[in-house]
Amino acid sequence: MSGTNIAIVIIVVILVAGGAAFGAYTIGKNNGYELGFASGETDGLKKGEQDGYTKGYSEGQTKGYTDGQAAGQKAGYDQGYNKGQQDAHQSYESGEKEGEKIGYNKGWYAGWGYGWQEGWWGGCTSCWQRCGPFVAGGAGQQPPSGPSQSWMPTTPTAPPPQ
């Protein structure tokens, strides 16, 4: 073979080798791109889902706990406050009625005791002791020990409690 033919064969071999290398490069690049894209997409999707879930769960749990705690605390406070107000009002009313009843009864009994027993009856007895000798007809006769039952009203009974 001549020098020119060898050069042509070398050039053709170089071109074929270059074309084969370029073809292999293109095929490898496409296959690598597709494999890398698929792998990256799968890994990225998993990581994104996991990170999103974790972040959403943590933030949602924190926000839900805080909001629920605040709402529950307010509702509990409101219910407790309202119940306390209602109970206090009822206690006040029943205490006021009971106090009024006790005060009325004590006042009535005290009024009866001081007015009748110590007032009228005490005055009647005192008067009899002073005036009895005159009524009995003089100093010689012994007066009875107390006022006559015929002209004295009956002792009233104490009022019943309310």
Residue 78 in domain: yes
Q: Which helix (H) or strand (E) holds 86?
A: helix 3-112
Q: Rounded to 10 degrees, what is the CA torsion of 60, 62, 64, 68?
A: 180
Range ranked top by mean pLDDT from 78-82, 106-110, 158-162: 78-82
In this structure, is residue 143 part of a structural domain?
A: no
* Structural domain includes residue 12: yes
Average model confidence (pLDDT) for the chain?
Answer: 77
Domains of the chain: total? 1
Distances from the Cα of 159 to the Cαs of 93, 99, 101, 107, in angstroms? 25, 18, 13, 11
Please check whether residue 68 lies inside any domain of the structure: yes
Alpha carbon distance 65, 42 (integer Å): 34
43 falls within a domain: yes
pLDDT one-digit tens code per residue, 73-84: 888 888 888 888
Domain-located, residue 75: yes
Query: Structural domain of residue 88, as residue ranges?
Result: 1-127
Please report the sign of the dihedral spanned by the C-alpha atoms of residue 94, residue 100, residue 101, residue 103.
positive
Domain annotation covers residue 70: yes
Each residue of 88-98: pLDDT tens digit?
878 878 888 88
Query: Residues 6 or more apart from 46 whose CB is under 8 A from it?
Result: none
Contact 108, 159 (CB under 8 A): yes
φ, ψ for residue 147, nearest 5 deg: -65, 155
Positive or negative: CA dihedral 44, 49, 54, 58: positive
Q: Is 155 within the bounds of a domain?
A: no
pLDDT in tens, 9-47: 888 888 888 888 888 888 888 888 888 888 888 888 888
